[in-house]
Amino acid sequence: MALGMFVFSTQSLAPDGIDRDRDWRHERAARFGARASSQFAGPGDDRISLAGSLVPELAGDYSAIETLAEMAEQGEAWPLMMGTGEIIGQFTIERISERKGNLIDTGAPRRTDFTIELSRVA
């Protein structure tokens, strides 16, 4: 999988799971003595959440999270492409959450759990 020029891999950052939430808009109008009418108003939000663990002793690199944070700070939309070649669409990085654990005596983590939230833009 790739977001822009960032390739998710065991050398950089490999998510363990992908959650995708999509919705579609239906506008409703109340009617007297009948159910509300409904009109399809088009696609709504499309959100993807990537979650996993980074363990540099086995796979991945801590700088990968910082690279994604730098991409997020640019405010750009990036194409999201699956490993099969399917292009999902243009996405912005909305949020990156990290939880560092298994700290050694220097305070450095041996494991970082992460969640990256993406939102599709037109």
Q: How high is the pLDDT of residue 103?
A: 87
Q: Across all residues in the chain, what is the average pLDDT?
A: 93
Q: Report which DSSP code applies to 60.
A: -
Q: How high is the pLDDT of residue 15?
A: 92
Identify the structural domains of the chain with CATH numbers, from first to last.
Answer: 2-121 (2.40.30.200)
DSSP symbols for 9-28: SSSS---SEEEEEEEEEEEE
pLDDT digits (tens, 9 = 90+) for 47-94: 999 999 988 888 888 899 999 999 999 999 999 999 899 999 999 999
Q: How high is the pLDDT of residue 2?
A: 96
> Residue 20's CB: how many other CB atoms inside 10 A?
12
